[in-house]
Structure 1
């Protein structure tokens, strides 16, 4: 006879494997503070009210700001993913030391994960590998996942370069922001699914923003003219979600539309063409609707 624990494990496995049965279980949504101008407490309150599970932010450099952020996280019961980035203006060895210092500062705050802007598109393969290998050592030593975001200007600025790194480091943990590649390659990448699959299998975290062939961010993903791009991005995200629910039982997603001038604006007035917060919430809801 099966024990209660065995029965629970079987039921949990069934829920994870069948998207039609509570497929949102294990999918955690995070909100970015990029472009938000209010206090940490206001940000946390608004994120919680919008049904986010956590936030993704850069580690505040000022002690008081960090304390206020931590108070907000505790008060509003939010998880946190911290961001770190390689300073590309520094000589290589100095950049590695600075990256290590920044990672250790983030690790000390005990986030559920760290997301990195790693390396540079001007560094060699081996130079970029040095940053990734350092992050992997620290991740293993401190039991905190450290991911590397696909991003223009970094080692992962193109799909082929990222595949090349995955071949060099098969365990490379990736944050996929595929909107960057849509503009870099001037394509929604329908013809590159085989290469994409090599990256999707390594993706642990998603930055959910919709790009297109000419820019990394559409002006408003709710507009019907962007539906093809929106559905293409969601299809890729769902592919990742299905894989991670199957092998890990959870996946994290940060909605990451950005403010002006990353967000398109009207000429002369510079008025943004959509509401930043509402746009990010829309993306979360659109994904949740596809998960039902």
Structure 2
């Protein structure tokens, strides 16, 4: 692999492609009949639904054999999370990730109080660390992290030519309280999003309504914020396609978190908290939306 291209690549000669992956974190508590699925059942369900990979933490030593066996059994690609505060925090992780056969490493970079030149130096150091390890590396646009503020993140992208992003715009929509009714504000945010979307290397699929970071968008994606997100995803995919070479992979990761990301209601007699959505069914809706956005991006490129 050659990470200096800025894209996630698998070393093959396959045409550039999207791969729809499922977040392992998003599988927490998912099951049927009141019982959470086992690890093996989760892999089986993810494969049956047509996903081609998983994003999770790098497995601990005692779990590594099981993970490798199941990933190989289902021919899944595998991306991992990390939460560095300094470049040296990922040095060993990158080596272990490469040995394990990880497709790419994603970072939520700590923390939101690191700003200005200090943040630029941190991000630059992380990028260089990944380049030295020769493994694809992305930084996630996320609240509570270096990337918390949209305006600051735009500045970081402009300052670091090799910085590639995992796009999750739900964080900026909720942080800016941007709603479907706020057309002017959405338009202004879209101009800044455009700068970030030009660095798309991965996309995390979650839709915010501007008040909650993760909402149920309906069984047929009826929610009013679906179309804006589809537009941004398509835009990022189009930018990615313009750069992509053989072997390039664009992971589109459905990432619907368990409570407290998921909205719940409380049964006050029992104290039980119940999710108001079926997260698994919603993940399948987001999967379809990602595939539709990809088709739109392909068609828009053909018309150029």
Over residues 154-184 of structure 1, what are the superposed CA-to-partner deviations in whole Å (9 max), with x where a residue is unaligned?
Answer: 1111210110101211221011100000111
Instruction: Please point out which of 220, 224, 228 is paired with 1:228.
Output: 224
Q: Distance in 2 between matches of 1:224 and 1:44?
A: 25
Residues of 1 paired with 2:252 and 2:138: CA distance? 13
Match of residue 127, structure 1, among 111, 118, 128: 118
1:40/1:69 contact within 8 Å kept: no
Structure 1: gaps spanning 5 or more residues: 1-15, 17-24, 88-94
Asked whether the equivalents of residues 207 and 213 of structure 2 are also in contact (C-alpha less than 8 Å), the reply is yes
Q: Is the 8 A contact 1:149 1:175 kept in 2?
A: yes
The equivalent of 1:181 in structure 2 is 172
TM-score w.r.t. the length of structure 1 is: 0.82
For residue 223 of structure 1, report the CA deviation from its aligned partner. Answer: 6.0
Please show how residues 177-256 of structure 1 align to structure 2 within 5 Å: 177-188=168-179, 189-218=186-215, 220-222=216-218, 227-248=223-244, 250-256=249-255
Whole-angstrom CA distance in 1 between matches of 2:134 and 2:221:
44
Report whether the alignment pairs 1:47 with 2:38: no
Matched with 2:73 is 75
Instruction: Please state how far the C-alpha of 1:138 moved relative to its aligned partner.
Output: 2.9
Q: What is the correspondence of 1:35-114 to structure 2 with a 5 Å cutoff? A: 35-37=26-28, 38-61=37-60, 63-86=61-84, 95-114=86-105
Spell out, residue by residue over 1:224-253, the C-alpha distance to the aligned partner (whole angstroms, 9 max, x if none): 896221111111001111221222054221
| 2:290 matches 1:287 | yes
Cα 1:113–1:96 change in 2 (3 A) is closer
For structure 2, list consecutive stretches of 5 or more residues without a partner in the other structure: 1-14, 29-36, 180-185, 296-304
Distance 2:221 2:243 in 1: 36
Aligned residue in 2 for 1:150: 141
The DSSP-based 3-state class of the residue aligned with 1:288 is helix
Which whole-Å CA distance do the structure 2 matches of 1:49 and 1:225 have between them? 21
Residues 26/96 of structure 1: CA separation in 2 closer, same or farther (3 Å cut): closer
Provide the C-alpha distance between the structure 1 equivalents of 2:40 and 2:128, rounded to a whole number of angstroms: 34
Is contact 1:149–1:174 with CA below 8 Å preserved after alignment? Answer: yes
Structure-2 change in CA distance of 1:107 and 1:119 (3 Å): farther
SS at match of 1:103: helix
Q: Which has the higher contact order (CA 8 A, sep 6+)?
A: 2
